[in-house]
Structure 1
Amino acid sequence: MARKVFILGLDSMPPKVLYEGMDGGGFQYLRRIVEESSRYILETCHPPITVPAWMVMFTGKTPGELGIYGFRHRKPGEFGYYIVNSSYIKYPTIWDEAGRRGLRVGVYGVPPTYPPRPVHGFLVTDFTTPGPEKPYTFPPWLRRELEHVAGPTVFDIVYRSHDKQRVARDLFHMLENHQRQVEYLATRKQWDLFIYVEIAVDRAHHAFWKYFDKSHPRYTEHPEYSRVIPELYRRIDEWFEKLHKNLPRDTVIVIASDHGIKPMKGAFTINQWLMEQGYLKLKVDPGKLKPGTDLEEDMIDWEHTIAWAWGGYYSRVFINLKGREKRGTVEPKYYEETVKQLKRDIEKITGPNGEQWRNMAHQPEELYPIVRGDAPDLMVYLDNLDWRPAGTLGWQTMYLPENDRGPDDAVHDWHGVLAIYDPEGTIDRGDKGVIGIEKVYNLLRETLISKD
């Protein structure tokens, strides 16, 4: 009979919290498990964001192979975007592999699994789900059971908000909703492999990191907000201790994150910089725009525009290429030359006081052996992710103290966690160094799924 494997995914959990004790006392039980585990520093993918990182982990394929470079994508030739969903995942996942071996699987909250697809077991979709009124389980009737146990499933919350009390309240409600459902599934259903990803960790980090991390440039001690992250950790810890004691004693436990987290130093207005450098030109007077104005298609003077960009945790830059874009101006023969010049200019961007930044501007072909889907022309990281690219316009400066999309205290980091606890001792314990996120698939497949 196969030994059970339970994967606890803590979205955006960094090593300094889980491994080094920067948890505010929240993790007690999980820390003991980690100390007895085979521990890796997980090196995340390009780009270091939730979509596509979890699918890179669970398929073993790079974002280029998956053709997924973020939650949203721009279709070449159009200014608008589309949202990635489970139908874009063309490779088998670790739970598909397990199912083919006859193992029963449980999948909860792995992005992007909406809309739900058939599995050999059961599946509940993730934060990309539009709402509980949509089909979000496989089998379909599982939805009624979950709502009976915990009420309507909460997929996500509004976390970029100045109403921090409401964010905290919604955060804990979502966590409890997920935990009640997962406990029900894990203790009442048959499974050999269970994967549970908790997005509440990521939302707490983004909403409350400056109240928690004393290294944050805007660190603020607060009697309520400084306790939100440690309290979230504590609730996860105590819930998991209770759940673990109800699982078979030989269950293998995996604790993983998709990327890390660190303080956001500020935001840099990438489109305003492109205008200053002569790459982007508007039909309207930029000086008359209100701060936070979105770049719209009809605002752009396309005949005199070379490139424009999206903001986010990284910036996607698009070349106005003739023959691909509706009003393209850059001749194909000058494409490579244009991209290389833009890369050099981006690498020269400095901080607000002229300090040297560690900027990276990559063509997708430089990062991936295969590039599928609708990739941007350049993928840009500012000061090694410390600064968030802001795509909006109308600001008096290119250096904003905070995110232009609402309160957000943190940016993603390259390193996450991977700890494998085997109570029977067949997996060596201790520190194992760095592992690339795409290699986790084979590690799970070879050392865990093979236990059947």
Structure 2
Amino acid sequence: MQTTERPRMVVLGLDGMPLSLLRELCEAGVTPHLARLALSAQAHEMRAELPELSPVNWTSFATAAGPEEHGVFGFTRIDPRSYAVGIVDSTAVRVPTIFDRIGERGLSSRVVNLPNMYPARPMRGMLVAGFVAPELSRAVFPPFLAGQLRAMNYRLEADTVRGRDNHDLLLSELSATLDARLAALDLFWRDMAWDLFVFVLTEPDRLFHFLFPAMRDVAHPLHGACMELFRHLDRVAGALLERYDALPGPKRLVALADHGFTDLVTEVDMNAWLAGHGYLRLEGHALSELDASVITPSTTAFALDPGRIYLHTAERFARGRLGAVDAMALRHRLREELLRMEYAGRPVMRAVHLREELYPGPMAPFAPDLVCEAQPGMSLTAKFDGRSVFGLHGRSGAHAADGAFFYDSAGERAHTTRDAGRLVLDFFGCSTQY
């Protein structure tokens, strides 16, 4: 039975949504439901954790901790013995989640489409994980949810592989995943047996990667279609907000993006740059962009997505030959050279961070030695089969560390996604310390 004694929190996630663009859409009347958040005094910009990627930042929210504690530094990780590169998932997370923490207090969570929660782990509540989630049966908890979601034709993710070259298909796919999120909202909300509800819409990020210029350019042939997709997204978000409004108090609403977005100037392949400067040496031909098996013992540095640079030390990697003293000198030299990199007369890097500066915590030994923070519009990549440092490869939008959307009905401010997670713990009376 519903009572006014049960404090509830609802969290709306908008993956990749810049506050500035959201306000433009609200002022133009495209997103009237979201206007009550974005145009309010409680909305402000937030900065992403570095690197400004979804798995890093949504994990920071989900754990109320930074990468130096939770251990997720990018989309990929490398085995230091075999050099196999794999996609990061929930098994890489080294601290309890906010759902674990409030679950210990007997409180229940419902979570829809939160990235980097795959494979789903047991929790007090219900979960369908978000990107990267290749298989529905392992994306849900409890397991019976897979059958219910499958019967509703739930879509874990839009087909952006085919959508990269077929934007009409991309828009159709994103519309279908929005319908799936709405169906999951209905399923997860209905019994009201929860304390925390997290609902993430990843569709903005997917759209922006391939059609970001169409969002602002009214002359773009797909501008109207993009606006219609955002009207659809606003209706889905509005369904959540209407349910929130109907809740008795005490209650609290938080909305956030994991990073911002901007127009893409060029992609920058860090491994191609390292190879061109003699730091990365490969033997044979990589079978894919993730094939790090071609790294040779003479390599002194290599990169993983997006701009994480690892020194190839003997202490850390099976084939590494670099000693500690040489490594210390090398990272400072690399930092200076990277800060001098230019594209079309423009600096590529905004900053190059040393590991101990950025990640002073227990997972620091597993962190990259250098983390490159690009200038707006410079999208860093790290491929082992690339040859060109600069180029465009089907994308038109780039992640931005600054400008992410944040809103809190209580008026609190979050500076990063980990702070947003801490607001959840504070609301439910949990310590933010591990």
Tell me the TM-score normalised to structure 2 length.
0.87
- The match for 2:234 among 234, 237, 240 is 237
Partner of 1:362: 353
1:126-165 Cα deviation digits (max 9, x unpaired): 2222222x332222112222333x2244334325621111
Letter in 2 for 1:438: R
Instruction: Confirm or deny that 1:336 pairs with 2:319.
Output: no
Instruction: Confirm or deny that 1:413 pairs with 2:409.
Output: no
Instruction: Confirm or deny that 1:44 pairs with 2:48.
Output: yes
Partner of 1:389: 381
Q: Secondary structure at the match of 1:252?
A: strand
Letter in 2 for 1:248: L
Which sections of structure 2, spanning at least 5 residues, go unmatched? none
CA distance in structure 2 between the partners assigned to 1:327 and 1:101 by the alignment: 47
Partner of 2:317: 325
- Where in structure 2 are the equivalents of 1:105-254 lying within 5 Å? 105-132=109-136, 134-148=137-151, 150-159=152-161, 161-214=164-217, 221-223=219-221, 225-246=222-243, 247-248=246-247, 250=249, 251-254=251-254
Partner of 2:108: 104
CA distance in structure 1 between the partners assigned to 2:58 and 2:225 by the alignment: 25
**How big is the alpha-carbon RMSD for the aligned residues of Structure 1 and Structure 2?**
2.9
The Cα of 1:299 is off from its aligned counterpart by: 4.8
Letter in 2 for 1:90: R
Letter in 1 for 2:156: V
Letter in 1 for 2:70: L
Q: Secondary structure at the match of 1:245?
A: helix
CA distance in structure 1 between the partners assigned to 2:30 and 2:105 by the alignment: 38
Judge conservation of contact 1:205–1:229 (CA < 8 Å) in 2.
no
Distance 1:24 1:388, change over 3 A: farther
- Where in structure 2 are the equivalents of 1:221-300 lying within 5 Å? 221-223=219-221, 225-246=222-243, 247-248=246-247, 250=249, 251-283=251-283, 294=289, 296-297=291-292, 299-300=294-295
The Cα of 1:384 is off from its aligned counterpart by: 4.9
Letter in 2 for 1:261: F
Instruction: Say how many residue pairs are matched.
Output: 421
Distance 1:23 1:307, change over 3 A: farther
Letter in 1 for 2:121: R
The Cα of 1:167 is off from its aligned counterpart by: 1.1
The Cα of 1:8 is off from its aligned counterpart by: 0.8
1:332-368 Cα deviation digits (max 9, x unpaired): 321101111111111111122x333444222222102
CA distance in structure 2 between the partners assigned to 1:442 and 1:379 by the alignment: 25
CA distance in structure 1 between the partners assigned to 2:282 and 2:91 by the alignment: 37
CA distance in structure 2 between the partners assigned to 1:129 and 1:295 by the alignment: 18
Letter in 2 for 1:241: G
- Between the aligned residues of both structures, percent identity stands at 24
Distance 1:74 1:123, change over 3 A: same
Q: Secondary structure at the match of 2:130?
A: coil
Q: Secondary structure at the match of 1:261?
A: strand
Letter in 2 for 1:346: L
Judge conservation of contact 1:111–1:125 (CA < 8 Å) in 2.
yes
- The match for 1:305 among 265, 284, 299 is 299
CA distance in structure 2 between the partners assigned to 1:36 and 1:298 by the alignment: 51
The Cα of 1:110 is off from its aligned counterpart by: 1.3
Partner of 2:389: 398
The Cα of 1:297 is off from its aligned counterpart by: 4.8
Letter in 2 for 1:272: A
Distance 1:304 1:136, change over 3 A: closer
The Cα of 1:385 is off from its aligned counterpart by: 5.8
Letter in 2 for 1:245: E
Partner of 1:217: none
- The match for 2:68 among 64, 69, 72 is 64
- The match for 1:437 among 407, 413, 417 is 417
CA distance in structure 2 between the partners assigned to 1:295 and 1:153 by the alignment: 26
Partner of 1:95: 99
Judge conservation of contact 2:77–2:86 (CA < 8 Å) in 1.
yes
Tell me the TM-score normalised to structure 1 length.
0.84
CA distance in structure 2 between the partners assigned to 1:320 and 1:254 by the alignment: 42
Judge conservation of contact 2:262–2:376 (CA < 8 Å) in 1.
no
Q: Secondary structure at the match of 2:366?
A: coil
Partner of 1:424: none
Judge conservation of contact 1:349–1:359 (CA < 8 Å) in 2.
no
The Cα of 1:394 is off from its aligned counterpart by: 5.9
Judge conservation of contact 1:43–1:416 (CA < 8 Å) in 2.
yes
Which sections of structure 1, spanning at least 5 residues, go unmatched? 215-219, 422-426
Distance 1:295 1:254, change over 3 A: closer
CA distance in structure 2 between the partners assigned to 1:234 and 1:145 by the alignment: 27
Q: Secondary structure at the match of 1:212?
A: helix
Which stretch shifts more, 162-171 or 234-243?
234-243
CA distance in structure 1 between the partners assigned to 2:45 and 2:75 by the alignment: 25
CA distance in structure 2 between the partners assigned to 1:358 and 1:71 by the alignment: 20
